[in-house]
Chain A
């Protein structure tokens, strides 16, 4: 049975099976390859997207449960062509390394800063416990996020 969903503001229909992980639908059917496939068990956070405004690990979301819901991927952050303030500050701090974890981290922090725009450094680190960076580039990443919190 086809599944209707709204991805980055656009109505889409997926024909994949009902238990297909959302990450596979995003990447293989709609070619939104920002979210990455890594652990497939909800540990690394590389596949994080927003579902109805909340960050979730899309490797553990069965497609049928997304019927009619709002999905936002990392591609939506610069939808108007301009990087978001979070993306800009990450660039300023030269944070990106291999890029595997980075889309998930952006999605987690985007959501986090909506609720905690003035967060302290320790809060930022706590928010990122579910995002594993295989390059171990955490320090600059947290530096950049803390700088954004100070600007807010």
Chain B
């Protein structure tokens, strides 16, 4: 449906319809999936856009598909659906914990994976660090075609995506890794975590770390990997206490963001403890296998 009809929210009936509608609206339009961020614009004293394209009901964006090699998560899979689909799947414990800790149960029924990754003004996404440490890629669809980019790249360019670009899914390569996710909210629910640490680790038969990814969320404006810590942990046993000490010595690479919920220095100061907890969670996941 063209934007000229004047309807502020057009609910697309298919992926092709959504891409065409977004292209038609150009910079004035935006996709709307779970709506949990966009509907709170008035609370943030922000203006709604003049036009949205609803994509939450498009069936092909709502499935989780697993093969031996990879897991494909549709952009409009909700946090609750993600938990249901991936609970107990090797390598996904951290991602399931991330989805299960975000917001509250009712919001988790609505908020989507794609929305969580694409909301550039939301620094406290739980899924971003959890998927970063799984080396996730993101599928983009435009009127002229489709491409797959690393999630880290999407987080860098998401503010400047061409109008009409739609994130359609997330792809994770299946690897024998154990994952942990640790977050520090100030309440049980209803607030954003001060800081988040996700970890994915592959241990060799000798118990030494063969591969490790650590990602940090909510501390800075966007989630990102912690390559310095990864390099220090590689080749050693996964020892949560040692990881804590290394993290404590190396947190200077982060510049905590200031906000009314927490000062920047506090976000950085809690990181070593979250690293230790994420490592403990990854070890616990390994023991359950």
Instruction: Name A's B-contacting residues (CB within 8 A).
Output: 1, 17-19, 21, 40-45, 48, 51, 54-57, 59-62, 64-65, 67, 108, 127, 129-130, 132
Contacts and interface: CB of A to CB of B under 8 A. Distances in A.
A55 B35 contact: no
A17 to B, nearest CB: 7
Contacts of B190: 43-44, 129-130, 132
A36 to B, nearest CB: 14
Interface in B99-149: 103-107, 109-110
Interface in B74-113: 80, 103-107, 109-110
Interface residues of B, number: 29
Contacts of A132: 190
Contact of B40 (A18, A42, A48, A61): A42
B35 A61 contact: yes
Contacts of A43: 104, 189-190
B107 A42 contact: yes
B40 A129 contact: no
Contacts, number: 88
A57 B106 contact: yes
Given A64-B54, A65-B11, 9 more contacts: A18-B10, A19-B8, A19-B48, A41-B40, A54-B109, A56-B106, A57-B110, A65-B9, A67-B11
Contacts of A19: 8-9, 39, 48, 52
A15 B276 CA distance: 54
Given A21-B39, A65-B35, A65-B56, A60 B107 contact: yes
A60 B105 contact: no
B48 A130 contact: no
A64 B9 contact: yes
Contact of A41 (B9, B43, B105, B109): B43
A130 B108 CA distance: 10
A129 B32 contact: no
Contacts of A62: 9, 32, 35, 39, 52, 54
B122 to A, nearest CB: 13
Centre residue among B5, B57, B107, B188 by max chain A CB count within 10 A? B107
A65 B8 CA distance: 12
B106 A42 contact: yes
B7 interface: yes
A18 B39 contact: no
Nearest to B1: A1
A132 B189 CA distance: 10
Interface of B: 5, 7-11, 32, 35-36, 39-40, 42-43, 48, 52, 54, 56-57, 80, 103-107, 109-110, 188-190
A129 B9 CA distance: 31
Contact of A129 (B11, B57, B105): B105
A61 B105 contact: no
A61 B110 contact: yes
B106 A108 contact: yes
A59 B7 CA distance: 20
A18 B52 CA distance: 10
Contacts of A40: 40, 42-43
| Minimum-distance CB pairs A-B, first 6 | A130-B104, A129-B189, A18-B9, A60-B39, A43-B190, A64-B9
29 contacts: A1-B5, A1-B7, A18-B8, A40-B40, A40-B42, A42-B106, A43-B104, A43-B189, A44-B190, A45-B104, A55-B109, A56-B106, A59-B39, A60-B39, A60-B40, A60-B110, A61-B35, A61-B39, A64-B7, A64-B10, A64-B11, A65-B35, A65-B57, A129-B105, A129-B189, A130-B103, A130-B107, A130-B189, A130-B190
